[in-house]
Structure 1
Amino acid sequence: MNLLLSFIWVALTGSMYYSNFLFGFLLGFFIMWVMNRNELDQRYFYRVPKTLGFVFFFLYEMMKANIAVAYDVITPKYFFKPGIIEYPMDAKTDLEINLLSTVISMTPGTLIIDISEDKKSLFIHVMYLKNKEHFIAQTKNGFERRLLEILR
């Protein structure tokens, strides 16, 4: 419904710019929030800001990892310390596990090798593994927590 309101806004204004579409999306979000604030199901109005926050967090982490890998490639000395870790997951469903593993693999320097038989942990190859506990805590408090907030 929000996307439909955004497209209606773009059609009414006749301006086909990203900024106009974004304004229409925000306007539609506000209109829907005003109309549904007495409803019991308010999940949409919590998920949209969390989704936008997750997208910006993911882009930040991806840029940070890209810079680290690019720096390592262009300098004569290699700084990587590869390692394979077993990452215990809080994700339970197949969708949550799939999205988490996809997001982790899309970040340069990490690659999902396998999922355990009981679907409770991922085996991740990490290019810059200095501290195993720090990597697990950073991933659990970063990608996994934010992703599960959106999906649950």
Structure 2
Amino acid sequence: MTTRRTLLPHPWLSLFLVVVWQLIMNDLSAGTLIMGFFLAWGIPLITHVFWPDPPRLHKPLVLLRFTLRVLGDILMANLDVAKLILGPSSKLRPAFVEYPVELTHDFAIHLLASTISLTPGTVSSDISDDRKTLLIHGLDVADEQELIETIKQRYERPLMEVFQCSTP
């Protein structure tokens, strides 16, 4: 491991921690900046032993676009779920769907599962032992194949591009 990686094992995580700290503190003083940089340096340094095979971020702009897409999808799904819940329960079509996973890196698979669970109306329930199938519960599933294609296009393909952990 290089000296740079020893002192700052996860630079993107550190940058993210500084930004989140500043947003939480809602103050741009010297004290909050120093504490933010200290936490952004210390937390990854202490926790790097729990990351035996950290993913490499190859396309940060694609990750930014992915994050904005997920936030927009969360907002729209909240509105859709509210309409479903406030409407008659006979309109609901809940279903479990087996989603074939193309990602190979554990971190990317977990990020995909978390993204699915963050979007209201869908929950990642289980992953197969071989990490090839993700069991998803959908609150209103009209067409299983359509749900699979939507997740593949909106979430999995961008993650494949960002982390380059599988062949698209």
Is TM more than 0.5 here?
Answer: yes
Equivalent residue in structure 2 for 1:146, among 151, 158, 161? 158
Percentage identity across aligned positions?
A: 32
* Structure 2 counterpart of 1:69: 81
Give the 5 Å matches for 1:54-93.
54-75=66-87, 77-78=88-89, 79-93=91-105
1:121 matches 2:121: no
Aligned structure 1 segments of 4 or more residues deviating by more than 6 angstroms: none
Max Rg structure: 1
SS at match of 2:142: coil
Task: Quote the offset at 1:100 in angstroms.
Answer: 0.7
Structure 1: runs of 5+ lacking an equivalent: 8-14, 17-42
User: What is the rounded CA distance, in whole Å, between the counterparts of 1:84 and 1:73 in structure 2?
Assistant: 18
What CA RMSD, in Å, does the superposition of the two structures yield over aligned residues? 2.5
How many residues of Structure 1 are paired with residues of Structure 2 in the alignment?
116
1:1-152 alignment, distance < 5 Å: 16=28, 47-75=59-87, 77-78=88-89, 79-152=91-164
What letter matches 1:139 in structure 2? Answer: I
Letter in 1 for 2:131: K
Q: Distance in 2 between matches of 1:57 and 1:126?
A: 19
SS of corresponding position for 1:50: helix
Offset of 1:64 from its aligned partner? Answer: 1.3
Paired residue type of 2:64: L
Give the SS at the match of 2:140: coil
Separation in 1 of the partners of 2:61 and 2:123?
Answer: 28
How far apart are the structure 2 equivalents of 1:61 and 1:151?
21
